[in-house]
Structure 1
Amino acid sequence: MGNAQEKPPGSGGGGPSPDQATAGMRRRSGGSMRKPPTEKGVANGSQKERSPAGGQEDQDRPAVDTSYLDAPAGALPPHLARFKNEGNHLFKHGQFGDALEKYSQAIDGCAEAGIDSPEDLCILYSNRAACYLKDGSSAECIQDCTKALELQPYSLKALLRRAMAYESLERYRKAYVDYKTVLQLDTGVQAAHDSVHRITKMLIEQDGPEWREKLPGIPTVPLSVQQQHRDRPVSAEVAQARAARAVQEEGQRKEARFTLLKQEGNDLVKKSQFQAALEKYSECLTLKPEECAVYTNRTICLLKLNRFEEAKHDCDSALQLDPANKKAFYRRALAHKGLQDYLSASSDLQEVLQLDPNVREAEQELEVVTSLLRQSLMDSTAHTPRV
């Protein structure tokens, strides 16, 4: 997590990191911080670990890799970079209290050394805010995020973490403003979209139709800053999150289009405009080819247009999706009747009545089909020459 500010929050990946603290927010009771691990262990790796019995660990046991501690961290000197890197490592492994201590040591070290690096300090404050957020210390999270934003205005992660902390304290107006500012920087942050939608409902219930007038002013992010965010290299996690959002949005668009087409088809059937309705249902099936109800609806149009073979195929498709669909059996019986296959029609109608003995239309149609079947048998017998 070398430069923690470069990755947008809420992205997936391996284990959690301070930059992923915004992906989920759970408040905890208690919230007391644990003591940081001794420098003998993870921090410098210079001391050999002791076994519970007091002796040295087996020499064959592989050494713990601590090379990450010496990775560069912006403009921080090596001893402060180690604090930051260890904080990142601890946060990734869920040790939020210990990570907080390391970030605090790095922040204090910058003050003592007179280091003036707004970008690095912004990252440290933002990362420590992520620890506070994970620990349920929302007020402290807000303080650190505000410090980070004083150093680097429009820091996306600091804004998002502060918004989540405000929301946890039910300070919905301030949360709304920060979430909307985040979306000016990156419209792909799904957590911000979801939260704006959720908080809008709360504010409408709380403040009524005039809720917007009670909001603090939403700052306008300069276009140059927006462009800087867009031009930054996208990490694999961010690309994955954006791709998932694109898939979700495409699914929503398809669902809306499908619902509209189906309703238009239904309205056209009521007006007896069967050819037009058939086209609407056919378009529906290009969007959702496994929607059983559309097959049975399209069958109505095909029957009315005397396209019995196609109607039968649509009923077959519906029954593959739903083997106990009464409408599909009934309408396939009508298709068989149109094709003068009275035996198959009779079989389908009996299937309907077996599923539901109270379908009056099936009883009446079965009487008609039985009569037609009897007549066709008689005609067949009359035209069969005697040997």
Structure 2
Amino acid sequence: MPPKHRSQSWTQLKQAGNERFKTGQYGEATDLYSQAIRELSKAGKKSPEDLSILYSNRAASYLKDGNCAECVNDCNMSLSLVPFNVKSLLRRAAAHEALERYRQAYVDYKTALQVDCNITAAHDGTNRMTKALTEADGLSWREKLPPIPNVPLAVREKLTKPTSPQQNGMAKTHTPAPMDQDLKRSQALKEEGNTLVKNGEHKKAIEKYSQSLKLNPAEITTFTNRALCYLSIKQYREAVRDCDEALMIDSCNVKALYRRAQAHKGLKNFKACVDDLNSLLKVEPKNSAALKLQEEVEKKK
């Protein structure tokens, strides 16, 4: 249990929690977020948005620790303060999925897609839930779903903002949503990076992906693609950072978990490597690449 930080403000406690989260110290992060929630709740001027972010951050820590029930509770609190917050929807969806509450998970993934139809994690989650529910309930599975909330247009416009490195854990900013031309340019730069990767030009690809992320810092696959490039040139710490960014958006992203595991292996941090592989195998138990890497790393421990 980390020491109490009574002399610190809620913002300092939140930042300390973010740092613990980034280094995988999820229990300590949870404690620090709890202290920050208490401090902010005692403050004279409470900000629902700030409090919502703190609950969502603590939910992410609970999810990482496998405490899915508490993750759901904190996401509920976060969403009561800021309805339709995408990160809270995705984290609650992931927790419901882990608890095999596939109908609730499906509803949350679909709600997140109403806010932003370009969220890869929500598309992937919806596909997984569709498959699971079809297997469980047959072709009439949609009839058993809870109602899917309708996200008002005004809410969609307000909430559709890019996820910057600060927002990823978690700082509150007011960055405007990327314009259509920025998104198109970002996609074009990403595709240029993909072509460079195919040609083995990883350093040049990193430059393209970095330019792409400046225009659209919410694209998970750009982070995981750049992480692959960093792995190729043995810049393992940079690969870990990119995977961290991707996993803050989608905590169950298989590519991010696998590539971070590879980076941890390169850094000889075998425990962190195995932890990531275990998380990956909860999502895809038969992932052959993960199973093979797990076997290799277990021999080195």
**1:94 Cα deviation from its structure 2 partner:** 1.3
The amino acid that maps onto 2:75 is: C
Q: Tell me the residue number matched to 1:205.
A: 135
Q: 1:239 aligns with which of 209, 216, 223?
A: 216
Is 1:186–2:163 an aligned residue pair? Answer: no
Q: Tell me the residue number matched to 2:2.
A: 36
Q: 2:37 aligns with which of 107, 113, 122?
A: 107
Q: Tell me the residue number matched to 1:116.
A: 46
Q: Which structure 2 residue ranges, 5 or more long, are not aligned? A: 162-175, 179-211, 226-301
Instruction: Write out per-residue CA displacement over residues 218-262 of structure 1, whole angstroms, 9 at most, x where no aligned residue.
Output: 0010011112234634593782664948xx9xxxxxxxxxxxxxx
Q: Distance in 2 between matches of 1:215 and 1:127?
A: 28
**1:135 Cα deviation from its structure 2 partner:** 0.3
Q: 2:125 aligns with which of 195, 198, 201?
A: 195
The amino acid that maps onto 2:149 is: P
The amino acid that maps onto 1:120 is: D
Number of aligned residue pairs: give it. 176
Q: Distance in 2 between matches of 1:187 and 1:80?
A: 33
Instruction: Write out per-residue CA displacement over residues 326-345 of structure 1, whole angstroms, 9 at most, x where no aligned residue.
Output: xxxxxxxxxxxxxxxxxxxx
The alpha-carbon distance between structure 1 residues 201 and 151, as it changes in their structure 2 partners (threshold 3 A), is same
The amino acid that maps onto 1:132 is: Y
Q: Tell me the residue number matched to 2:150.
A: 220
What aligned pairs does 1:282-297 form with structure 2 within 5 A after superposition? none
Q: Distance in 2 between matches of 1:243 and 1:96?
A: 22
**1:110 Cα deviation from its structure 2 partner:** 2.1
**1:112 Cα deviation from its structure 2 partner:** 2.6
Q: Which structure 1 residue ranges, 5 or more long, are not aligned? A: 1-34, 45-77, 249-387
Q: Distance in 2 between matches of 1:89 and 1:243?
A: 21
Q: Tell me the residue number matched to 1:85.
A: 15
Q: Distance in 2 between matches of 1:84 and 1:218?
A: 32
The alpha-carbon distance between structure 1 residues 237 and 167, as it changes in their structure 2 partners (threshold 3 A), is farther
**1:217 Cα deviation from its structure 2 partner:** 0.3
Q: Tell me the residue number matched to 1:145.
A: 75
Q: 2:86 aligns with which of 150, 156, 159?
A: 156
Q: Distance in 2 between matches of 1:146 and 1:196?
A: 20
Q: Tell me the residue number matched to 1:165.
A: 95
Q: 1:90·1:99 contact (CA, 8 Å) conserved in 2?
A: yes
Q: 1:37·1:98 contact (CA, 8 Å) conserved in 2?
A: no
Q: Distance in 2 between matches of 1:157 and 1:241?
A: 12
Superposition RMSD in Å: 2.5
